[in-house]
Amino acid sequence: MALWLKDPLAILAENAERGVVVEGARIVELVAKGAEPATVIDEIFEAGRHVMLPGLVNTHHHFYQTLTRAHPDAINKELFAWLKTFYPVWARLRPEDLAVATRLALTELLMSGVTTTSYHHYLFPDGLDDAVDIQVAEARRTGLRMTVTRGSMNLSVKDGGLPPDSVVQDEDAILADCERAIARHHERGEGAMVQIALAPCSPFSVTRELMRATARLAETHDCRLHTHLAETRDEDAFCRQMFGMSPLDYLEDTGWLTARSWLAHGIHFSDSDIERLGRHGVGICHCPTSNMLLASGRCRTCELEAAGVAVGLGVDGAASNDSSNLMEGVRHALLVNRLTYGTKVTHLDALRWATSGSARCLGRNDIGVISMGKQADLALFDLDELRFSGAGDPLAALILCGAHRADRVMVAGKWKVTAGMPVGVDLEWLKAEHGTAARRLVMLD
Phi, psi of 323 (to 5 degrees): -150, 150
Sheet holding 19-23, edge to edge: 26-30, 19-23, 2-6, 43-46
Concatenate the DSSP letters of all residues of 207-248 into one string.
-HHHHHHHHHHHHHHT--EEEEES--HHHHHHHHHHTSS-HH
176's enclosing H/E stretch is: helix 171-185
- Quote the Cα angle for 103-108-111, to 5°: 125
Determine phi and psi for 182, rounding to 5 degrees.
-65, -50
* pLDDT at position 94: 96
Helix axes 208-221, 171-185, angle to 10 degrees: 20
Distance, in Å, from the CA atom of 149 to the CA atom of 76, rounded to the nearest integer, reads 28
Q: Which of 298, 294, 303 is nearest to 340 (CA)?
A: 298
What pLDDT was estimated at residue 226?
A: 98
Give the distance from CA 15 to its chain's centroid.
29
Residue 105, SS3 per DSSP: helix
- What are the angstrom distances between the C-alpha of 419 and each of 142, 376, 384? 17, 19, 12
Under CATH, to which class is 2-54+374-422 assigned? mainly beta
Q: Looking at the domain that runs over 56-361, which CATH code has it been given?
A: 3.20.20.140
pLDDT of residue 318: 85
228 strand-pairing partners: 264
Cβ contacts of 7 within 8 Å, gap of 6 or more: 18, 19, 46, 47, 48
Count other C-beta atoms under 10 Å from residue 77's C-beta.
16
Q: Which of 171, 169, 273 is nearest to 214 (CA)?
A: 171
Whether residue 116 contacts residue 367, with contact meaning beta carbons closer than 8 Å, is answered with yes
How far is residue 256's CA from residue 266's CA, in Å, rounded to a whole number? Answer: 14
Distance between alpha carbon 185 and the CA centroid of its chain, in Å? 19
Give me the numbers of helices (H) and strands (E) for the chain, helices first please: 15, 18
CB 56, CB 113: distance < 8 Å = yes
State residue 443's pLDDT score. 79
H/E run at residue 139: helix 131-142
Beta-bridge mates of residue 52 = 11, 380
CA distances from 82 to 68, 144, 162, 255 (A): 12, 30, 11, 29
Q: What is the pLDDT along the chain (445 residues), one digit of tens a residue?
A: 999 999 999 999 999 999 999 999 999 999 999 999 999 999 999 999 999 999 999 999 999 999 999 999 999 999 999 999 999 999 999 999 999 999 999 999 999 999 999 999 999 999 999 999 999 999 999 999 999 999 999 999 999 999 999 999 999 999 999 999 999 999 999 999 999 999 999 999 999 999 999 999 999 999 999 999 999 999 999 999 999 999 999 999 999 999 999 999 999 999 999 999 999 999 999 999 999 999 999 999 999 999 999 999 999 998 899 999 999 999 999 999 999 999 999 999 999 999 999 999 999 999 999 999 999 999 999 999 999 999 999 999 999 999 999 999 999 999 999 999 999 999 999 999 999 999 999 875 4
CA nearest 12: which of 326, 363, 378, 301?
A: 378
> For residue 444, what pLDDT is reported?
52
Helix (H/G/I), strand (E/B), else coil: 158 = helix
For the chain, the domains span 2-54+374-422, 56-361
CB within 8 Å of 315: residues ≥ 6 apart? 58, 60, 61, 109, 287, 289, 290, 321, 323, 324, 325, 326, 328, 329
Coil, strand or helix at 114: strand
| Integer Cα distance of 407 and 411 in angstroms | 14
Integer-rounded Cα Rg, in Å, for the chain is 21
Q: What is the pLDDT of residues 354-400, one digit of tens each?
A: 999 999 999 999 999 999 999 999 999 999 999 999 999 999 999 99
Beta bridge partners of 27: 22
Asked if the domains at 2-54+374-422 and 56-361 fall in one CATH topology, the answer is no
